[in-house]
Chain A
Amino acid sequence: MKEDVITSAPDDAPVILIVDDEPDITTTYAMLFEYHGFRVITAYDGKNALKVIDELVPDIIISDYMMPLMNGAELCTTIKKDPRWEAIPFILQSAAFHAKDINAPYDLLLQKPVTFNVLLTEVIRLTAHKLC
């Protein structure tokens, strides 16, 4: 049964930044991605995500769209404008969009609700270079 216990991923495992203002979402995704061998860091809004990213650059970002202070589209635009982070794959997920944000420079847009299997498949695809 020990194999069922979630263990810490190895130090060279890809890092995922999960940005969502709902702690249940970040906790759940963190638990599941860690189970699948990823390292996970979390943030609760866009501004907080920029602070986190400064300390540890992730291999991929999964962000919700609707968040306080800075929404997911604004976060995506900010990151993609910064040469240090522009190459980081960005998955934006939301139930609904404002028209002004529809052209944000995300790598993938997912309509909520998103099942974990779909998300996992996309994360593996977008971090394939790191996994190799």
Chain B
Amino acid sequence: MLAKHSADILIIDGFRSVRDSSPTTIGLSEFMLSLNSLVSSLECTTFLLSPTEGNVADSENTLVDGLIELSQHEKGMQLIREIKVFKIRGGKHLLGRHVFEVGQNGIVVYPRLEAISTASRTIDDASDALVSFGIPDWDTITRGGVNKGSVTELLGNPGVGKTLMGLHFIYEGLQRGEQCLIVGFYESPLRLIAKAHSVNIDLASFIDSGQLQIIWNPPLEISVDALAHQVLEDISGRKVSRLFVDGMDGLLDIIIHVGRARSFLTAFVNELRCCQVTSFFTRELPYFGSKLPENCDSGPSSILYENIMLLQYVEISGVNHRQIAVLKLRQNGYDSANHIMLISDKGVSIGRSVSTEKLAQEIIKNNAIKNEP
């Protein structure tokens, strides 16, 4: 058949039967050598499909030019497909497991971002140019915004206005003619557009023109590798300069491999920096207190983010106020005071700095209440 049809590809499905039918290892090796000789003479690329798992020392594993394992990874009720290359003779393949999906267009493999990032070792071009948030007083506090190509994290309590800050950041870019991308996990595009509209930010026209894309997925059974691939492809394809990820908690929720979050995020933000995308991530604090939730990656955020901002509710004289502050900014010289943040139908504005004396009085008062018998 091979000689008659001049086949370019031969697939032997169920190679286990061939292995089982050979009484000795030598017999199987002889078969493999003959097969090798035949298909190489005919330039016929051959795939042996076998249910064997792992790089075991079977003769077929030794004699083949490439060894690829397809497997499944299970976490709770969730199951994903994975591919691992044990060997490709003469090739420098990416080590480790990678996710693949089976869809209408066949198999799509998503090389693990950490492996790609390590292999490419691209160095980002640190820029001194500043990127404005489009909130005048906030730009004053940050002395012009954040560095171009930097990654910013905004920590904040639920409902405190993190998304609105992000929308301002994106809207400013859109008005400057930049290509922008929003990656969301909670508010659907329609809700986000409506929310923006309520504070006089018109996103719809920019979506229509293609200047703004929204990638939205509820943080359920979606592949973080597929999402990262989609995001980076859009950034590369449209030359996106501003990215708003709302929020980091959703991204962490879909990283199903235990212990992978930190390395994945390191690779992801590295890719963003290399693309010179100024990125803005929101991260949710609990309703009460400022401790990060359990799903967070361990270790300090400062490794991932050049800039960290904190937005939280503070009680002053019995009234909850929004208070925003810069915790860290790559360039020096920012205003480190806590400031009141106001939200109106015109969007976010920054008010007066919160009086230190007033805050101290509140802290003393709160401590006194807590210490009452």
- Chain A residues with CB under 8 Å of chain B are 3-4, 22, 24-25, 27-29, 31-32, 35-36, 113-117, 119
Contacts and interface: CB of A to CB of B under 8 A. Distances in A.
Contacts of A27: 34, 37
B38 A28 contact: yes
Contacts of B36: 24
A4 B38 contact: no
Contacts of A114: 41
Contacts of A117: 6, 42-43
B120 to A, nearest CB: 32
Given A24-B33, A24-B34, A36 B3 contact: yes
11 contacts: A4-B1, A22-B37, A24-B34, A24-B37, A27-B37, A28-B37, A29-B41, A32-B3, A117-B42, A117-B43, A119-B41
Nearest to A119: B41
A22 B40 CA distance: 14
Contacts of B37: 22, 24-25, 27-28
Q: Which 7 pairs of residues, A with B, have the shortest CB-CB distance?
A: A24-B37, A116-B41, A28-B37, A24-B33, A28-B38, A35-B3, A115-B43
Q: Range of interface residues on chain B? A: 10 to 19
Contacts of B257: none
Given A27-B34, A31-B38, A117-B43, 15 more contacts: A4-B1, A4-B4, A22-B37, A24-B33, A24-B37, A25-B37, A28-B34, A28-B37, A28-B41, A29-B41, A32-B42, A115-B41, A115-B43, A116-B42, A117-B6
A74 B42 CA distance: 29
A32 B41 contact: yes
A22 B34 CA distance: 10
Contacts of B42: 32, 115-117
Nearest to B39: A28
B62 to A, nearest CB: 15
A4 B2 CA distance: 9
Contacts of A115: 41-43
A36 B34 CA distance: 19
A28 B41 CA distance: 8
A27 B1 CA distance: 17
B349 to A, nearest CB: 73
Contacts of A22: 37
A22 B33 CA distance: 10
Contacts of A116: 41-43
B44 to A, nearest CB: 10
B208 to A, nearest CB: 56
A100 to B, nearest CB: 29
B45 to A, nearest CB: 13
